[in-house]
Amino acid sequence: MRRFDVGKGRLTSPRWRYGTSTVISTLLHVVITLIIVGSFFGCAARTTGIEGGPVLLPSTEQLIAAAAEDDGEYRAALQYWRQAREKIDARIEEISRQLRRVSQWYAEIGVRFYQDKKGKKALAEFIEALRYNPENTLALEYFKNKYIPLRWISYTVQENDTISSIAEAFYQNAADGFVIVHCAGIGDEEGLTAGTEIRLPRLDSFFSPQLQDYKSDILHARALYTEKDFAKLLPVAEKILASHPGDEEASYLLGSALVGLGEELRRRQRYEKAIEVLSRVDPLFKDVKRDIAQIHVLQMQQRADNTQALNDELFARAKTLLENEKYLQARSVLEEIDPGVAGVREVVADLHTILKEQADIHYKRGVTFFVDDNLAAAIDMWQKTLRYDPGHEQAAANIAKARSLLEKVKSID
């Protein structure tokens, strides 16, 4: 069985968890920032001033295009400008790919923080990912579906406002426009109408209800584990794992609950339920095959004991009925008893003799009634004969004959 320090949330065997080190995360932030800044400065170093101000263009094509334009060689100038644009587009696409890669890196770090139940650190990574790429699906999935804000600010849209300008004013970062798009119900620039009041969430008020529930649930589960209240621990552990699949502490608590509850059910001789519970134990947590096999043996013994007890009870009841001359009821009870029970065969044989005698008595009474033309009473006696002896052929034949005569009498009347 794996050992787990309940309350500390870790396995006793140390394991490095990626993304949990603040130092590593900070260094990686710095490296990525230097890469992005270096890319832009590399492009800016090739800038040449032309009419209208500095433009980020490849220097060779820009100089040739400007010279051709000054000389009135407009077709040549257009060709060179187009060549410059192709290089610019390629550069933009390359930087865009870099931004998407950086965004994805932040998003994946955020997921790891979230899986480690570090909600605030995860949120910071998701926000950073969306600043680099507002369309990052992984970051959006967590930001939109795992977090909600507690505090909001009301703002009336002004003329010429843009999502970026509002984000710059309220969040001091134009790249935070994605917050307005996804939380304020704006959608895009067209959603901004002057005079309309919108609600902007405070970035420092975002929290994850799921992680808050996890904290309360895991504390409750730890307490139940300490108290060895496995019946109550089981549903709590299942709830945690439903929202946090693979959580190591919850998995350990679930395995402990199943094993502990299985043992409790075994002690209470609820063997079928014990087998059902233990069958759910992960073999990696504990191999319970031997425990289940032992319970099967106990279950078979329990069934044998129960059968013996039932047979003894039925046998005693049958004897009482025989003593009170309730032969038909006694026969019904004896039919439920295992014929292998000691003494049953002898009692059944004696009862068979008595039933034959009773059948003969009732048959003769029926004949007497028939001779006296009391057909209804004769039929009743012969029916009782068949109850004592279902195979009495003469009684069955006489009943048919008497009913036929009775019908003829009724038709004459």
> What mean pLDDT value characterizes the chain?
84
Q: Does the pLDDT of residue 122 top 80, yes or no? A: yes
In the predicted structure, residue 327 carries a pLDDT above the cut 80 = yes
Return the higher-pLDDT residue of 56 and 353: 353
Structure tokens at 136: 């990052």
pLDDT at 268 over 80: yes
Backbone angles phi, psi at 352, to 5 degrees: -60, -40
Q: What's the pLDDT score for residue 121?
A: 94
pLDDT at residue number 72 = 83
Rounded CA-CA distance 354/360 in Å is 10
- What's the one-letter identity of residue 81? W
pLDDT in tens, 285-299: 999 999 999 999 999
Decide: 249 and 218 in contact? Cβ < 8 Å: yes
* C-alpha separations of 129 from 30, 132, 174, 203 in Å: 15, 5, 14, 15
Does 208 have pLDDT greater than 50? yes
pLDDT at 383: 94
Phi first, then psi, for residue 136 (nearest 5°) are -65, 110
In this prediction, what percent of the chain has a pLDDT beyond 70? 85
Q: Is the overall model pTM greater than 0.85, yes or no? A: no
- The tokens for 167 are 């984000």
* CA dist list (Å): 232 to 4, 96, 238: 20, 52, 11
Give which of 73, 78, 81, 76 is closest to 57, Cα–Cα. 81
pLDDT over 70 (residue 23)? no
> Tokens 């187009």 sit at which residue?
82
pLDDT at 412: 75
Question: Are the beta carbons of 209 and 148 closer than 8 angstroms?
Answer: yes
pLDDT digits 0-9 by tens, 182-191:
888 787 777 7
Which of 39-43, 52-56, 105-109, 310-314 ranks highest by mean pLDDT?
105-109
What is the H or E stretch that residue 332 is in? Answer: helix 327-335
Alpha helices by DSSP H, listed for 11-157, are 22-44, 59-70, 74-115, 119-132, 137-146
Q: What mean pLDDT comes out for the span 378-395?
A: 92
Q: What is the pLDDT of residues 161-203, one digit of tens each?
A: 999 999 999 999 999 999 999 888 787 777 788 888 889 999 9
Give the pLDDT confidence score for residue 45 in this predicted structure.
Answer: 37
Q: How confident is the model at residue 85 (pLDDT cuts 50, 70, 90)?
A: confident
DSSP 100-129: HHHHHHHHHHHHHHHHTT-HHHHHHHHHHH
